[in-house]
């Protein structure tokens, strides 16, 4: 008897020691099996507008992490009722559930019910593969027990509800709630929560989208289980089961109009904030972007229309970028007409800028160096500079031309002449201030003939100096980045640097307005204030063939650039027309957008205003009447029709057979009297209009000799 008691004692003690050893072994093994980093689930990064409106998501798995406190209790209960009714009573393994499942499997002659707890499911989904082996099941048990040791029940339930898959690409309760009902998980009703709890067992089979009847049947089963477990009263369960569920499907699709912009977000996150593409796809960040969705979509649609692109075939490409003048934020970007994700982003590709470089490399620096003013006269002749002999596109040379007119007509000869006077090093210094660096050393810089070229976004950044008092700012597509806890980890730089003085910027703005109003950019229609410059580079060897066509411009609120051309230009692929097409398209994008069309640029404080140009016209109707006045004796009265521009000065000259003499002048009127005229040696008179801005005289009128008879 004593021996039996002794054996029983040692058996009990041995079993206890063995059990304790096994438990400690499980706990010890858990340290090697559990990698806590795996519990940090992949979470979607959201792009939102500056006012917090959702734009799109970036993700490996469409998951939005939500805290357990934000998941209604009745939603938690729905999952517990259907997945693990003894969740709050077991320690990771539910022996009762396992025994019940084994019994039902034996009775049914096959597997009909699982015995896995929520903790086991979490362990399997996070740490293990789907292989069906004894070793995998052993690991699952070990991990589940250790998870229960390390985390609270609420923490485990939170991880589970954020981890499970709900079909249609939705991971976690929050993304599922958004997909199926377009609401946050915190707002789910009892019937909605039950419907979601019904899905994870077989997401395709119980999808309310693919199989609505099976989905409702499964939902009603969940509600019955909730009533059976005491989570719902019988009356409430019946009432809830009688409700229909109104789906409001909000599928997250990648809008093709956003492809360029999204790629730029990836690039900027990596270069400026050191976040890899992989981290962005799984880190659950909230990124505020300056994107203007309506402009982006408008530009995207217009870029698809081949009528806007004058190529020899539909392979012609283009790029468009628009910045906010104040912040430098990229409002819209199109990297190509046929852009694909992670493809060639032509917004960033360097191209020959043509005449769009003239304000940056020639005219702006010349004004800044105080060598010239907007109405200074420049040499407009076909000159040779060593082997370099630039020519005007029109083939016309005026001898002299004002800077203002050289800008609006985009004349080449005066631009090169001015750069030669200014100095290449000085021009490059100012280009560098705007953010543009080039290796070139020749006078062809004045016409945009560069080795490497300049990208559209760099051109837009540089022209921002004219729009914002001479200052440039680094463009950005990320205004702010917050981590999944809402902590701001990065913001766009706000530092500005001065490229030109405020006065130079304003003079250039007025001249570039002239380009749009009456110069090379007058084509197309836009009702608001707009300043800008066209640019074209020819294709050698192809008559009327164009390689690059540009328009870079700005309004009081935005600045942008459009480039058109081919990725590879040759005799078979080229543009059939020049800058008119990008100019018209730029205006069309602005005109189709919701941007406020400001009708005028505001003159900055402490700058001298630039007067509009004075345009001289020929005087062809001079009349010279002779009369007798008591005190003035014989008096000549000259009359002509004056211009509507009252700033024009009219110079009167007297001409005889031996000489020409200046008599006097009047401003803004068309009459002049000359007293005490010698009628025995009567001279002739002619009128010359004079431009006080350029200090240039216009064409002489025909000389007329006074007569006593009125010429009517």
Catalytic positions, written as ranges: 83, 355
> Is 385 in a helix, a strand, or coil?
strand
**Residue 117 burial (C-beta neighbours within 10 Å; 0-12, 13-18, 19+):** buried
> Is 392 in a helix, a strand, or coil?
coil
Pairwise CA distance, residues 305 & 652, whole Å? 58
Closest CA to 327 of 302, 291, 364, 278: 291
- Per-residue burial over 595-633, b if 16 or more Cβ lie within 10 Å, else e, is bebeeebeeeeebeebeebbebeebeebbbbbeeeeeee
Which residues are 454's β-sheet partners?
Answer: 351
126 close to 38: Cβ distance less than 8 angstroms:
yes
Question: Which residues, other chains included, contact 66 with Cβ-Cβ below 8 Å and sequence gap of 6+?
Answer: 161, 162, 172, 173, 174, 184, 185, 186
Question: Which residues, other chains included, contact 421 with Cβ-Cβ below 8 Å and sequence gap of 6+?
Answer: 366, 371
Please, what is the end-to-end C-alpha distance for the chain in angstroms? Answer: 154
> Is 287 in a helix, a strand, or coil?
strand
355 close to 410: Cβ distance less than 8 angstroms:
yes
Closest CA to 354 of 380, 393, 382: 393
Query: Cα separations (Å) of 603 from 506, 510, 606, 647?
Result: 8, 10, 9, 21
Question: Which residues, other chains included, contact 178 with Cβ-Cβ below 8 Å and sequence gap of 6+?
Answer: 64, 170, 184, 250
**Residue 169 burial (C-beta neighbours within 10 Å; 0-12, 13-18, 19+):** middle
CB atoms within 10 A of CB 403: 24
C-alpha torsion angle, residues 211, 213, 214, 215 (rounded to 10): 80
């Amino acid at each position: 008897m004593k021996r039996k008691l002794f054996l029983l004692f040692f058996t009990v003690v041995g079993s206890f020691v063995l059990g304790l050893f096994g438990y400690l072994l499980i706990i010890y093994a858990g340290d090697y099996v559990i990698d806590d980093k795996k519990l940090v689930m992949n979470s979607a990064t959201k792009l939102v507008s500056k006012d917090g409106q959702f734009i799109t998501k970036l993700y490996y798995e469409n998951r939005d992490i939500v805290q357990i406190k934000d998941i209604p209790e009745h939603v938690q209960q729905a999952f517990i009722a259907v997945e693990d009714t003894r969740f709050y009573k077991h320690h990771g393994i539910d022996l009762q559930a396992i025994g019940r499942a084994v019994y039902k499997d034996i009775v049914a002659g096959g597997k009909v019910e699982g015995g896995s707890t929520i903790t086991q499911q979490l362990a399997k989904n996070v740490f293990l593969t789907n292989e069906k082996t004894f070793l995998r099941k052993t690991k699952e048990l070990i991990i589940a027990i250790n998870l229960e040791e390390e985390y609270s029940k609420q923490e485990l339930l939170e991880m589970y509800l954020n981890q499970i898959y709900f079909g249609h690409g939705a991971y976690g309760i929050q993304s599922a709630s958004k997909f199926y009902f377009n609401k946050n998980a915190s707002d789910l009703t009892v019937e909605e929560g039950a419907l979601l709890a019904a899905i994870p067992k077989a997401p395709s089979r119980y999808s309310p989208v693919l199989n609505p009847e099976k989905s409702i049947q499964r939902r009603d089963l969940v509600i019955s289980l909730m009533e059976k477990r005491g989570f719902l009263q019988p009356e409430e369960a019946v009432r809830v089961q009688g409700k229909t569920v109104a789906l409001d499907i909000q599928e997250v699709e990648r809008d093709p109009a956003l492809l360029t912009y999204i790629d730029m977000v990836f690039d900027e996150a990596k270069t400026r904030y050191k976040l890899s593409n992989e981290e962005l796809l799984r880190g659950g960040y909230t990124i505020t972007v300056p994107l203007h969705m309506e402009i982006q979509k408008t530009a995207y649609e217009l870029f698809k229309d081949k009528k806007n692109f004058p190529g020899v075939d539909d392979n012609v490409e283009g790029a468009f970028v628009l910045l906010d003048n104040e912040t430098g934020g990229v409002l819209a970007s199109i990297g190509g007409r046929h852009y694909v994700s992670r493809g060639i982003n032509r917004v960033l590709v360097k191209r020959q800028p043509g005449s769009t470089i003239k304000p940056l490399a020639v005219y702006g620096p010349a004004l800044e160096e105080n060598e010239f003013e907007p109405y200074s006269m420049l040499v407009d002749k076909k000159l040779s500079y060593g082997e370099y002999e630039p020519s005007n596109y029109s083939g016309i040379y005026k001898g002299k031309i004002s800077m203002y007119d050289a800008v609006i007509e985009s004349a080449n000869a005066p631009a090169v002449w001015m750069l030669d006077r200014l100095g290449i090093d000085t021009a490059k210094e100012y280009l560098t201030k705007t953010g543009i660096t080039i290796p070139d050393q020749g006078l062809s810089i004045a016409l945009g003939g560069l080795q490497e070229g300049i990208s559209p976004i760099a051109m837009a950044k540089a022209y921002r100096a004219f729009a914002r008092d001479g200052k440039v700012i680094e463009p950005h597509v990320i205004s702010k980045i917050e981590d999944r806890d809402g902590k701001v980890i990065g913001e766009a730089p706000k530092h500005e640097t001065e490229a030109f003085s405020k006065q130079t910027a304003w003079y250039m703005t007025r001249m570039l307005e002239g380009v749009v109003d009456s110069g090379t950019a007058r084509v197309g229609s836009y009702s608001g204030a707009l300043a800008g410059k066209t640019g074209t580079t020819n294709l050698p060897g192809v008559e009327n063939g164009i390689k690059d066509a540009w328009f870079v411009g700005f309004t009081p609120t935005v600045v942008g650039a459009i480039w058109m051309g081919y990725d590879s230009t040759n005799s078979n692929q080229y543009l059939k027309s020049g800058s008119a097409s990008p100019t018209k398209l730029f205006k069309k994008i602005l005109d189709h957008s919701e941007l406020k069309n400001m009708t005028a640029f505001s003159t900055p404080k402490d700058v001298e205003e630039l007067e509009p140009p004075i345009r001289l016209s020929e005087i062809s109707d001079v009349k010279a009447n002779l009369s007798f006045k008591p005190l003035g004796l014989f008096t000549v009265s000259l009359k002509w029709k004056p211009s509507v521009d009252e700033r024009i000065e009219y110079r009167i000259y007297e001409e005889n057979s031996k000489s020409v003499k200046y008599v006097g002048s009047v401003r803004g009127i068309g009459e002049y009297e000359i007293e005490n005229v010698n009628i025995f040696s009567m001279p002739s008179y002619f009128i010359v209009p004079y431009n006080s801005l350029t200090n240039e005289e216009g064409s002489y009128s025909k000389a007329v000799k006074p007569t006593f008879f009125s010429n009517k």
